[in-house]
Chain A
Amino acid sequence: MLIACLPEIGRQFTGPAVPALFETCVLAADVMHRPKRQTLKAADVHVTFGGIHALGGVDLTLTRGRITGLIGPNGAGKTTMVNVLSGFQRPTQGSISLDGQDISALTARKIAQAGIARSFQAARLFRDLTVLQNLTVAGIGSGLSMRAAAAQARDILDWIGFAGNAEWRCDLLSYGDERRISIARALALQPSFVLLDEPASGMNEAECDALMTVIAGIPSQFDCGVMLIEHNMKVIMGVCERIHVLDGGRSLAEGSPGEVQKDPVVRRAYLGEKASDKTLAI
């Protein structure tokens, strides 16, 4: 465990005093044991960039085995929320907890190892590596040996329907395939929660349908919770059990797809004042 703490020690040279260091180490030790987690909870999360409030007090709970949608107009703070939950953005105020344990102080890597995986809007694959290697890296990151990680990677590629092309280099992939592999790579981390940031953007109709099947299958196949950010309402309404609506960094509504669709406040945010009495475009 001491080894795992060493980077923390390094970081603390620039940071506060020793007790904080000790706390972080103990926390990291606990978190790294990785049983599957039940809930990921964001409480009163604020993020401020200079004078701009990207998030102004968002509460959000993800539950294992459930797909939660996060929607909202451009600039609503959806990606910032993903960045906060995955440790790439420290909340200015508020906390993130995994089964009641505060993880807001952990680095992105530690949070990934604790079982919160994410995909990126720009797929961000390791371009010089093969598809299989991309997934293997995440497997290694989750603590598997090279051999076990590669075996797991093959299983996931099998499941997602890419097994025949496992040896392709990622710079050869089409846009849609990049997205699929980026989801697969997040799953290779054996997460308790997967955060998918606009996986369907730029996909055509057929690819979207295939993607919906994949996403809908994730909770049962990988025993984890999913948070899905998407602009494509067909995808969102098709797979999510709960939907959380953000606007201007604040929670606007939360409920089942049916409830959210009918919510007049949500309609106004999406369609403007005049259109608020029409139905939400699906």
Chain B
Amino acid sequence: MAFAFAQFLTGLASASWLFLVAAGLTIVFGVTRVVNFAHGSLYMLGAYIAYSLTGMLSLGGFWLAVPIAAVTVGLLGVVLEMTVLRRLYGAPELFQLLATFGVVLIVKDVALTLFGPVDLFGPRAPGLTGAVRIFGEPIPEYDLFMIGAGITVLAIIWLLFNRTRFGILVRAATEDAGMVAALGVDSGRIFTLSFFIGSTLAGLAGALQVPREPVTLLMDLNVIAEAFVVVVIGGMGSVFGAFIAAILIGQLKAFGILVLPESTLVVAFLAMTVVLALRPNGLFGRAASGPPPAAEIAPPENLGRFGRPAAIALLISLALLPLVAEPFILVLCVDIMTLALFAAGLRLMTGPGGMISFGHAAFFGLGAYAAAATAKAGLGMVAGLAAAPLAAGLGAIVIGWLCVRSSGVYLAMLTLAAAQILWSAAVQWNWLTGGDDGVLGIWPDRWATGPVAYYYLTLAVSGAGMWLLIRLAEAPFGYMLRAGRDAPARARALGIDQRRLKWLAFTAAGIAAGLAGGLAAFAKGNVFPDVLSIPKSVDGLLAILLGGLHAPAGPVIGAAIYAALENILSRLDHWRALLGLSIVGLAVFAPGGVGGWISKRLRHRSRP
């Protein structure tokens, strides 16, 4: 009993911390409707700044460093809002997500430059270095302080939102930004202010974590996935919901570790999936009002009269490439082709389908692991390459069924959750996946061994896959899919079964990703949990963003440019920051991508 109570308090302390992070994220979302990936980076900066200040301030030390760090991060958040996010309020969620992910990369590089790569382990909080005995069990004083801090912040937010003019305006803006503007209130100011509050909370959470864990460059993505879970379970925009969700997750982890020590990472995402399956808008969330901001007008999509000759020319030159290229160029091309196939499927669901997936790596990874398992079972490469799309397709049917019931950000978060569940399972369930060790020694059959043979195999398989996907987009299926995206009510009134079409598109995208994963597995000879990670999903999204979301040739162009971009940037010292800047720039200034730009030019010229 005493033990369970102590465990409960441990869970409550980590819940408090989770709540502090998630509260800021949910406030920002509630007001601005922006899903801010960079929230984790702000949290990380809070920790770094508090650590550095603690060392510098002789007077006050840690306790003075915490508020200074929090406010500093709050101001940095304001800068972020005014320079980047303000330009993205009307943009589709995909661009917001990618742009804030670009900010993540920039901040990581800045932090690396300013604070160095070494983990920084801060001192314990002055005055709270010991433990008190509660029912005989030692409870760290700092844990009790954290519990108090969480409740205090909840109370302050409640007072702020219910007892001040600003808070009431924020709540009104959450309900209807247009109405607030009609009242003559500058909604831009409200957005900026709520960003300040959200960022300050992120900084506070980071600063308060310094006595508990080392400050590292991995804090940003480690925390953001979990914060998303809390926000989504609670209902996006609901601070109280985040509080309840944080307690739920904190306790699940505290007691889960006793029962299933190898499932600590999975638990949070499983809980989120269960909650969303029962309540698609989270515990305290409301349905997103109005249609998703598909306010952008998707351009027409077809290859145009230049498309077919260009595709044939590309195929011929790729077929002849091995005659002139060095092996490592062929290896690079294999990478580009698998990425292009992965992105092509993703484009079908994101472009014509209008569904944003932030976890498409789930299917790439399923394919890769299925190929690996088949090969390890001694069934050979061909069976492996067949198993890959099969497993990914089955996964996509199941996950897709759950996801297509939602739309917009909720759908993106559900896909993210699905990928994170699979990733956590891959990391922690060694018996199945080899964990971090991965699966090694998955090599092609003898006839396909060697850069040239495998290059031709990849060209044939991914070429066929991409041809099918382009056909699908140009077939009645693609037209009706776009119909559902452009005008859902119109499509329904024509008798189009959108949910089924979306589900099919989701599955097709999953199959393509799985096939790409299988090809990649045999190309590299190994599979690691990273194939399921957030950056892998971002790879695919970036390729289609670069190539153009609404250009059928986009994935190929995007994958190739992505490789070129890497080539140029990666040789520079601050390639992360430069890549991040490129992503932000693209999302803000060139949302049509290169493919979109080309097809626009061609269309103008082909017009009479």
Partners in one complex: no
Residues of B within 8 A of A (CB): none
Residues of A within 8 A of B (CB): none
